[in-house]
């Protein structure tokens, strides 16, 4: 899983939520849109590297905002299959609509309570990584 989050507090809360939910996942964290795109390019271009199964993307990250990162992901043939969950503090109808128009799989407003965050993480993992069927290597036919 790739987490794109520039707020150290939320990064730690999400880590704690995964620990408390007892989910054993490899979570890579980047703090900016530019770092997210570099990370994805490197994973895509390295034959031994595995692309993330899921991306948890904040909209308000430095350099390149989350919408532009999402646009990049959806335009790339090797990346566009990856589920992207927008995880933002914004409840703006404009942000929500634009996220879905760009191909987000879901838009979630960040919970402020640790219990709610743990519940969200548990639901996220249960659905996207245990229930939903995702392609293993979609770019190879």
pLDDT at 69: 98
d(CA 11, CA 61): 13
Q: In sequence order, what are the residues at sequence separation of 6 or more whose Cβ sits closer than 8 angstroms to the Cβ of residue 69? A: 4, 33, 36, 37, 57, 61
What per-residue confidence (pLDDT) applies to 80? 94
pLDDT at residue number 140: 47
Structure-token pair, residue 111: 């919970």
Q: What's the pLDDT at 3?
A: 95
3-class DSSP state for residue 57?
strand
Indicate the class that CATH gives domain 2-129.
alpha beta
Domain boundaries, the chain: 2-129
Phi-psi region at 57: left, alpha or beta (left = phi > 0; alpha = psi -120 to 50): beta
Q: Is 139 helix (H, G, I), strand (E, B) or coil?
A: coil
pLDDT of residue 70: 98
Residue segments in the chain with a per-residue pLDDT below the cut of 50: 139-141
Can you give the pLDDT at residue 141?
Answer: 39
**Cβ atoms 120, 108 nearer than 8 A:** yes
Query: Biggest alpha carbon distance in the chain?
Result: 44
Helix (H/G/I), strand (E/B), else coil: 1: coil
Q: Residue 23: its pLDDT value, please?
A: 66
Question: pLDDT value at position 41?
Answer: 95
């Amino acid at each position: 899983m790739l987490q794109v989050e520039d707020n150290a507090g939320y990064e730690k809360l999400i880590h704690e939520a995964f620990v408390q939910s007892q989910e054993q996942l490899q979570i890579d964290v980047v703090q900016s849109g530019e770092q997210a795109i570099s990370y994805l390019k490197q994973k895509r271009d390295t034959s031994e590297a595995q692309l993330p199964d899921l991306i948890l993307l904040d909209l308000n990250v430095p350099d390149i905002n989350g919408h532009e990162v999402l646009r990049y992901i959806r335009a790339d043939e090797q990346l566009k299959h990856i589920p992207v969950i927008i995880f933002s503090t914004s409840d703006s109808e404009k942000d929500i609509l634009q996220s879905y128009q760009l191909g987000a799989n879901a838009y979630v407003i960040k919970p402020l309570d640790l219990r709610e965050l743990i519940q969200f993480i548990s639901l996220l993992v249960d659905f996207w990584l245990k229930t939903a069927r995702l392609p293993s290597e979609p770019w190879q036919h």
